[in-house]
Structure 1
Amino acid sequence: MDGQLNAERRGAALDAMSDHEGVDVLVIGGGVTGAGIALDATTRGLRTAVVEMQDWSSGTSSRSSKLVHGGLRYLYQLDFPLVAEALRERSRLLTTIAPHLVRAQPFLWPLRTPVIERAYSAVGVGMYDLLARLGSRGRRKVPMQKHYSKKGALRLFPQMRPDSLTGAIRFYDARVDDSRLVIGLIRTAVAHGALAASRTQVTSLTKGPAGEITGAVLADLETGEERTVRARHVINATGVWTEETETLSDSAAGLEVLASKGAHIVVPKDRIRGETGLFLRTEKSVLFVIPWDRYWIIGTTDTPWTSGRLHPVATAEDIDYILDHANEVLTPALTRDDIIGVWAGLRPLLQPGVKGDGEVASTKVSREHTVVQPVPGLTVIAGGKLTTYREMAVDAVDMALGSRAKSMPSITADLPLVGAEGFTALQARASRLAAERGWTRERMEHLMFRYGTEVSLLLESIDADPSLGEPLPEAEDYLQAEVAFAVTHEGALHLQDIIDHRVRIVTERRDRGIPVLPAIAEIVAPLLGWDRERIDKEIAAATERAEAEMSAESARSDAEAEKARLAAKDLIAIRPLASDG
């Protein structure tokens, strides 16, 4: 499957989407929702374009808890349809859509009381398992719940404090590299004919004589050039920027979205001893302790965010909150010295109802997300979560198509992403491939669960240039071929794109990857045509940003943290937004 994203294809896509023919659908927003919409629309036979003002997944979709889950806590709100929908989508991702990116993950739920809590928790998890089984269509990928005594739970997770539990229940969900999922969706859409351009900002919407939306004016932030795209339908999938994008239509109607900040910390794998993740209920929501290959992710928080939405950052209070709640069950306690990574993201919280006078062309409310058409030609979607991105995409495209939707149904329920087709066969021969290359099992698994069957493309690049088979200097868990692939196939245009969303060093190291920048730059410079001046500029910008984010972590308030973060200027500037000055 050819789904290359690179600088050349980006330029060709901009040319094609702004030609005289126009497009059937223009998607604004390159997070998981927009990427899912682009794939859904193009595979229905619609000429589709998708644009993102930053790098793909730069907003909420790269700063999540990295879970694909049904939402166990929603069962306690008796929202069975929502949980059933999410578990059905979880099954599809695990088995067909992205088995190379989504992996089953066991969690231990510590119980504090021996009888009552175990009884109602067992019923809740039992319902979770039942809904998952019903939604898996006979392709169940995760085991059912299992109960443990206190002694058994401590054998499974030795680092829990004995006084923090009386027993535990093990259940399963799944984890995912959120950015790589988004990039996989975009690349699959491109393979099916979609036109995709990152670093491309919609600056205005064009209108017809009756006020209907007929397209958009785009600013190519890489070159400063402006283009006009004619579109029969424009779909706004911009998450926390939903209202800013809506204002371009000059309509008072639409959706209202507030932002809530969620922060996470990362600690080394050897700092916590446990064979599962942890699911911890807090006074606000839940806290997850999630094992990955070389580290643990712990989060999240849930606090209102009213500052600029481009660069949310974690504060000292956020970090303290996570440490305090994790240390209620962990021993020895985690400290700030254990933390090697921190990030914060904004959740788009959809508010009830519709803005303005409420007179919209049509509205569809589907549990957590809502789709509206405030004016003809413009569809707006907001709410939802990563796990149900595909259902959101179906609803958005259905509304844009109107009466034509029944004759052009979605086909994405069983459509594999790039790297997914033939993944089971790849797993069967993984040991042989590793032996042929002299790789460890860990190296092979790292590559398989990032690239799937596209490992073959990495091998071809290494055969053509053996230096790409060498570990990346200062970051030996990655191969140099992965850096090159980020540019040639995954659409990276800058150093920051690579360390944030492809080779995700920025959240895995205490130094945020600063020492690795020169080596990465030397690999990508010939691929992107950079001279020495450009290399130095890219390194300086990424270094300045990393230092600003580390400085923000010592601030006590959001305002102080944002001030520290904004001390670093963006290499590629976004045109001013209403919420960002």
Structure 2
Amino acid sequence: MAGGQLDVLVIGGGITGAGIALDGAARGLKIGLIEMQDFAGGTSSRSTKLVHGGLRYLKQMEIGVVAEVGKEREIVYENGPHVTSPEWMLLPLYEGGTFGKFTTSIGLRVYDFLAGVKKNERRSMLTPQETLMKEPLLKQDGLKGGGYYVEYRTDDARLTIEVMKKACELGAIAINYAKAEQLLTDEHGKLTGIEVRDQITNDVYALHAKKIINAAGPWVDTIRELDGSKTGKTLRLTKGVHLVFDQSRFPLRQAIYFDIPDGRMAFAIPREGKTYLGTTDTNYHGDIASPVATAEDRHYLLKAANHLFPSLGLSDSDIESSWAGLRPLIHEEGKDPSEISRRDEMFVSDSGLISIAGGKLTGYRKMAEDVINKTLELMRGEGESLQAASISTRTIPISGGDFGGSSKMAGYMDSKISEGMRLGLSKEVAALLTKRYGTNIDVVYALAQDAIQWGVRYKLNALHAIMLSYSLKHEMAVKPVDYFIRRTGNLFFRIEEVETWKQPVLHAMSAVLGWSEEQLVAYEEELELSIEQAKHAH
């Protein structure tokens, strides 16, 4: 990147930055991206992991948001069905709850209509008996029935990484662990580039670009401060916490969207032998890089779960893991966190810095398109003659998503699982790899034999040897936390796997990446701290 001038340089490697890199690269721009942590290291690995249709916004009468979000959700799914899948959601209706039977029925119909929901995924209304058949754990007292509708669940970090890989396939240059330390300007005070520090080697580079886009999520205002342009609207960070339980303790069959007695809404979702529960929405003023679940957060969610699922009697000791993420919302005077709009906004400063703030995971693609449109408009206004193609990312599959549409995925998966078994992998391992990597499975299988042999040296099993090898070669994993949190999701959903395999992974990574003894110790401590924070919130 330091070797020449870029058209655009993006600060921030979460889903928003990844989307912008993909959109710019698809249009033929010379685009670079820097991320000071790992890709998806902030909010983009700490969400509720749903590509929302935005039912909640219907309650706030934000009709435009519901319509746009619903349509985008479908695009996100079709372009990467290996990381996003439809999930039926049950909304139980209770006496005195915020959702009445009639209004919910109308609301879900409006939602289906606005969101352009497919015929086979349209909502239905259930009797109390049907509701309990779907989820026997629900409190029976005061139950009036249920609404049944489709949400889409995703692996947010994997989605971000697949979008980033696609951007790079199309010519973007992206790097993690590279921090923007200073903005570079010309004699007229216009931005010309960024001074960037490599967080691993400590080397400093001057990167030059015609336009700089600030997509730093919770750090957007930190970058605006460097630019001297943090005025007018500013960010308000709120924290959302999720708790994970084993299915043996919380045997939920069915994803549930439910009322908490204080008027907020929460989700309980079964996933990979676990159930996770969230989320809180509280103002946040702590360290942006490492928000954690507090005892108060845990108490709040446990109380909500025990209220709706009274037979469980969940307590602190049942929590296997947790995560906390920050929502970078645009500050509105006098509004409660859960009432603040989730809309995204763009700010252009006098120096030419383009900042994008707010917004939702679901809307990342549309947001990226708007940002690149605005960037091109500004560049042309400044007399740049640009050859940008008018290509839309609407029909560009993300990395691993080349199935030719979601309907063809199941058949593809079956044939690839059989192929994996012919290579000597167990059915479980072949299935997990195929589901995780989608149409990149051929690349994964091509490195499998060598990876397994390499893994034997470090006492790694076949699955971890293959995934780690792929993460290092093709997904820029730099530290053990990258692998265990963002490349695999193990720290949240299989924390015992992390305990079992942390030493072999550390030593295998150290050998490949040539760590010093200090680095090995530092990365091990970082991983231990992450495990500790996930298991025992403060």
Q: Same fold (TM over 0.5)?
A: yes
Q: How many residues align?
A: 516
Alignment partners' CA distance in 1, 2:287 and 2:15: 21
Aligned sequence identity (%): 31
Alignment partners' CA distance in 2, 1:463 and 1:49: 34
1:397 partnered with 2:379: no
1:418 partnered with 2:399: yes
1:287 matched to which residue of 2?
A: 266
1:333 matched to which residue of 2?
A: 313
Shift of residue 273 of structure 1? 3.3
1:147 matched to which residue of 2?
A: 125
Contact 1:255 1:380 (C-alpha < 8 Å) held by counterparts: no
Which residue identity lines up with residue 336 of structure 1 in the other structure? D
1:110 partnered with 2:110: no
Question: Residues 62-211 of structure 1: matches in 2 within 5 Å?
Answer: 62-95=45-78, 97-113=79-95, 117-133=100-116, 140=118, 143-163=121-141, 165-211=143-189
Alignment partners' CA distance in 2, 1:338 and 1:419: 36
1:542 partnered with 2:524: no
Alignment partners' CA distance in 2, 1:501 and 1:170: 31
Alignment partners' CA distance in 2, 1:222 and 1:340: 31
1:481 matched to which residue of 2?
A: 466
Q: Secondary structure at the match of 1:332?
A: coil
Alignment partners' CA distance in 2, 1:311 and 1:389: 23
Alignment partners' CA distance in 2, 1:337 and 1:164: 30
1:318 partnered with 2:297: yes
Contact 2:302 2:314 (C-alpha < 8 Å) held by counterparts: yes
Which residue identity lines up with residue 461 of structure 1 in the other structure? L
Structure 1 runs, 4 residues or longer, greater than 6 Å off: none
1:501 matched to which residue of 2?
A: 486
Q: Secondary structure at the match of 2:308?
A: coil
Bigger Cα displacement from structure 2, 172-181 vs 416-425:
416-425
Contact 2:491 2:534 (C-alpha < 8 Å) held by counterparts: no
Q: Secondary structure at the match of 1:224?
A: coil
2:338 matched to which residue of 1?
A: none
Bigger Cα displacement from structure 2, 424-433 vs 384-393:
424-433
Contact 2:258 2:266 (C-alpha < 8 Å) held by counterparts: yes
- Classify 1:512/1:410 alpha carbon distance in 2 versus 1 (closer, same or farther; 3 Å): same
Question: Residues 345-494 of structure 1: matches in 2 within 5 Å?
Answer: 345-352=325-332, 368-402=343-377, 404=380, 408-422=389-403, 424=409, 425-430=411-416, 432-433=418-419, 435-437=421-423, 442-467=428-453, 478-494=463-479
Alignment partners' CA distance in 2, 1:428 and 1:324: 42
Contact 1:26 1:49 (C-alpha < 8 Å) held by counterparts: yes
Shift of residue 252 of structure 1? 4.8
Shift of residue 508 of structure 1? 2.6
Contact 1:468 1:481 (C-alpha < 8 Å) held by counterparts: no
Gaps of 5+ in 1: 1-16, 354-365, 556-581
Q: Compute the TM-score of the two structures, normalised by the length of structure 2.
A: 0.89
Which residue identity lines up with residue 435 of structure 2 in the other structure? F
- Classify 1:345/1:548 alpha carbon distance in 2 versus 1 (closer, same or farther; 3 Å): closer
Bigger Cα displacement from structure 2, 48-57 vs 512-521:
512-521
Alignment partners' CA distance in 1, 2:246 and 2:295: 20
Which residue identity lines up with residue 383 of structure 1 in the other structure? G
Contact 1:488 1:527 (C-alpha < 8 Å) held by counterparts: no
String of CA shifts for 1:234-259, please: whole Å, max 9, x gaps.
00011111111011222354641011
2:498 matched to which residue of 1?
A: 513
1:525 matched to which residue of 2?
A: 510
Q: Secondary structure at the match of 2:363?
A: helix
Alignment partners' CA distance in 2, 1:532 and 1:371: 44
Gaps of 5+ in 2: 334-340, 381-385
Alignment partners' CA distance in 2, 1:59 and 1:246: 18
Alignment partners' CA distance in 1, 2:285 and 2:321: 24
Shift of residue 324 of structure 1? 0.8
Contact 1:156 1:274 (C-alpha < 8 Å) held by counterparts: no
Question: Residues 28-39 of structure 1: matches in 2 within 5 Å?
Answer: 28-39=11-22
